[in-house]
Chains A and B, each alone.
Chain A
Amino acid sequence: MEVLQPVVNPQTKPDAKVKKVMIIVSKATLDNVYASFILANGARMEGIEAEMFFTFFGLEAINKKKLNDLHVATVGNPAMHIPTLLGGLPGMEAMATSMMKKEMEKLDIPPIGEFLEILVASGVKIWACKLAMDMFHLKKEDLIEDLEGVLTVGDFYNRAHGEGTQLLFI
């Protein structure tokens, strides 16, 4: 049987370090948003630059009126171990969300609003997607004051130039 050798990109240098991460946040369920925030904050703690691009439903996480009311999805999430029919019952999402928030607090992980302030203070740049804002009829005033600006996808890619930049999609 033929044994496949791993493909090594000849351009990859063995000592090449991650210098910058660009995280695209496209969902606004509490777990996804926390994952993206922890990745961005963790990057800064390691001396890695971090930028975040909020698009589609991800915009809710930087929407002043919505950000403190994000939920965990109890339907269509097999890892919750709640049967789909039960997951859709009234109050289930609220219960799962409240449980998750309590666990987060125990680990000293801040609520979304405070976490955003920490990210900005740590030097993370927060960008909003122009197309998604148009689609949801959102204005800049609807989003957090700390927003760095509104970008097109092209603008965002242009910020990813340079060696050691990684893009993550969440």
Chain B
Amino acid sequence: MEKTIGNTTVNMGDDGYLVDLNEWNQEVATEIAQEEGITLTDEHWKVLEYLQNQHKKDVPLTIRNVGKSGVVDIKGFYALFPEGPLKKASRIAGIPKPVSCI
């Protein structure tokens, strides 16, 4: 499904996640974050960048990994992206929905 966000047209899956990370940009992220009720700050951007890098390296994302990343601790991660941090942050970062249970 095509969706126009600001000046960008992106392909979004039925689950609400971007299909192609290459279509992602900061404007897209800001808009998706707003849908999730989040206003992005420097702290958020650092986490998003970390998640994208992990995704590019094919590392499965887990809460534990994020907590050990040195970018943010688990408590901070929940504070930045309340109510489902890994799912919300992945959606804003333009990477696929996490499949991990932990």
Residues of A within 8 A of B (CB): 38, 41-42, 44-47, 107-110, 114, 118, 121-123
The answer on a CB contact under 8 Å between B67 and A121 is yes
Instruction: Report the separation of the CA atoms of residues A45 and B60 in the bound assembly, to the nearest whole angstrom.
Output: 15
Q: Does B86 contact A (CB under 8 A)?
A: yes
Pairs A–B under 8 Å by Cβ, sample size 13: A38-B101, A42-B102, A45-B63, A45-B84, A47-B82, A107-B102, A108-B64, A118-B74, A121-B67, A121-B73, A121-B75, A121-B78, A122-B75
Known pairs A108-B62, A122-B74; A47 contacts B102 (CB<8 A): no
B30-61 contacts to A, CB under 8 A, are 60
Residues of B within 8 A of A45 (CB): 63, 84-87, 102
Residues of B within 8 A of A41 (CB): 63, 102
Instruction: Report the separation of the CA atoms of residues A14 and B21 in the bound assembly, to the nearest whole angstrom.
Output: 35
Q: Does B11 contact A (CB under 8 A)?
A: no
Residues of A within 8 A of B82 (CB): 47
- From B60, B63, B87, A122 is in contact (CB under 8 Å) with B63
Q: Does B83 contact A (CB under 8 A)?
A: yes
Question: Looking across the interface, which residue of chain A has its beta carbon closest to that of B76?
Answer: A121
Question: Looking across the interface, which residue of chain B has its beta carbon closest to that of A119?
Answer: B74
**Distance to closest chain A CB from B40 (angstroms):** 19
Given A38-B102, A46-B84, A108-B60; 20 other pairs, CB 8 A cutoff: A38-B101, A41-B102, A42-B102, A45-B84, A45-B85, A45-B86, A45-B87, A47-B83, A108-B62, A110-B64, A118-B74, A121-B67, A121-B73, A121-B75, A121-B78, A122-B63, A122-B74, A122-B75, A122-B78, A123-B78
Instruction: Report the separation of the CA atoms of residues A110 and B64 in the bound assembly, to the nearest whole angstrom.
Output: 8
Question: Looking across the interface, which residue of chain B has its beta carbon closest to that of A114?
Answer: B64
